Amino acid sequence: MHSPLVTVEHVSHAFARGRDPAIQALQDVSFSVEQGEFVSLVGPSGCGKSTMLRLLAGLDTPSSGSLRIEGATPGQLLGAAGYMPQRDLLMPWRSVLDNTTVALEFAGVPRQEARERARALLPIFGLEGFERAHPATLSGGMRQRVSLLRTVLAGRRLLLLDEPFGALDAITRSDLHEWLAGVLAKLDATVILVTHDLEEAAFLSDRVYVMTDRPGRIAAAIAVPLPRPRSYELTTSPAFGEVRRELMTALREARRPLATAARLVG
Ligand SMILES: Nc1ncnc2c1ncn2[C@@H]1O[C@H](COP(=O)(O)OP(=O)(O)OP(=O)(O)O)[C@@H](O)[C@H]1O
Ligand SMILES: [Mg+2]
C-alpha cells in the first residue's frame, strides 16, 4: 500500500517552563508529505514552525500525537533527515570547507573525498575563495550558505530547512531558489521548508501549509499547481500571482483574531 514519506498525526507540543505556565506551541497538527514533494510551512512568528521541524528531526518528542518518516524507526527519527536549524551551528574552530563536510565525515566518507565533494559546490553557494575562512569572519548570509551547503551535502532524501535564506539579499536569494529547485529535481529530495517569505514558498513548493498564531494549527493547505523546477520568469505570470494572493489571504485569515485586536486598538 502507498504511504507518504512523512506523516504527522494530531501532534501537540507544550514546553514546561518551571514555575511559569507551560507554553502550548503546537495544537493538533496533522499533515503529510509525499516522496519528492516540496512542502513549506508558513505562519506568524512564534507559532511553532521551528518546534515542528525539531520534532521531525528527532531532537524532541511531541507531548502527544505521532510523527512517522518512512524507513525510520518510530520514536527514533534522529539522523533520518538532513536538518538545517534556524540558528546555524557552525563550529568556530573549523574552516568553511571543514564545516560543510562534517556530516559526510560522520558517515564515514574519507576526508579527502568529502572535501572534494564540498569544494565542487562552493562556487554555486557563493563561497569560492572562502574555504579556509573561519565562521567568525563571515557575514550572516555567508554563514547561512555554509550551513545550507552542509545540509545538502549530507545527502539525506528528506531535508528540513528552517528559514535557510533568511539573511540573504534578494538577488542571492532568488539565484539560490532557482539553483535549489534544479538540484532538488535531480536529487529526488523531499523538502520541508519553514519560511516567512510567501514569494519563496510559492516559488519553491508543491504545497504550502499555513499555520495560525500560537498554539500553531494548520489553517490551510494551498496547492501550487505549477510544474517544477520553475524559473524566475514564472514569478511575473498571472498563475503565480494568483498563488501569492491565495497565500496572503490564507495567512491573513489565519491571523484574524490579532488583526481584529489591532483594529480595536487603532
Ligand atoms: N525550548 C523551549 N522552551 C520553552 N519554550 C519554547 C522553547 N522553544 C520554543 N518555545 C516556545 O514555543 C513557541 C514556538 O516557538 P518556535 O520557535 O517553534 O516558533 P517559530 O514559529 O519558529 O517562530 P519564528 O518564526 O519567530 O522563528 C514560542 O512561543 C517559543 O517561546
Ligand atoms: Mg522559527
- Confirm if 24 and 214 have CB atoms less than 8 A apart: yes
Residue 40 dihedral angles phi and psi, to the nearest 5°: -115, 150
Residue 213, pLDDT above cutoff 60: yes
Q: Rounded to an integer, what distance in angstroms lies between the CA atom of residue 45 and that of residue 241?
A: 24
Model confidence pLDDT, tens digit, residues 161-204: 999 887 777 777 887 788 778 777 777 789 999 998 999 999 99
Residue 263, pLDDT above cutoff 70: no
Q: Rounded to an integer, what distance in angstroms lies between the CA atom of residue 187 and that of residue 207?
A: 19
Rg for the chain (alpha carbons), in Å? Answer: 19
Instruction: Give the predicted TM-score (pTM) of the model.
Output: 0.91
**Does 229 sit behind a cis peptide bond, omega within 30 degrees of 0 on the bond before it?**
yes
* Cα 86 to middle of ligand 2, angstroms: 6
Beta strand 38-42 with 190-194: parallel, antiparallel or unpaired?
parallel
Q: DSSP alpha helices (H): ranges in the chain?
A: 49-56, 96-100, 102-106, 111-121, 140-153, 170-187, 198-204, 238-254, 256-265
Query: Ligand 1: residues within 6 Å at CB?
Result: 15, 17, 23, 25, 45-51, 86, 214
Closest C-alpha residue for ligand 1 atom 30? 46
Domain boundaries, the chain: 1-81+195-266
Q: List Cβ neighbours of 47 (8 Å cut-off, separation of 6 or more).
A: 211, 212, 213, 214, 215, 216
Q: Which atom of ligand 1 is found nearest the CA of 26?
A: 14
Helices 111-121, 140-153: crossing angle, 10 deg rounding: 130
- In a 13 Å sphere around the CA of 172, the CA atoms on its Cβ side amount to 15
Model confidence pLDDT, tens digit, residues 18-70: 999 999 999 999 999 999 999 999 999 999 999 999 999 999 999 999 999 99
Class of domain 1-81+195-266: alpha beta
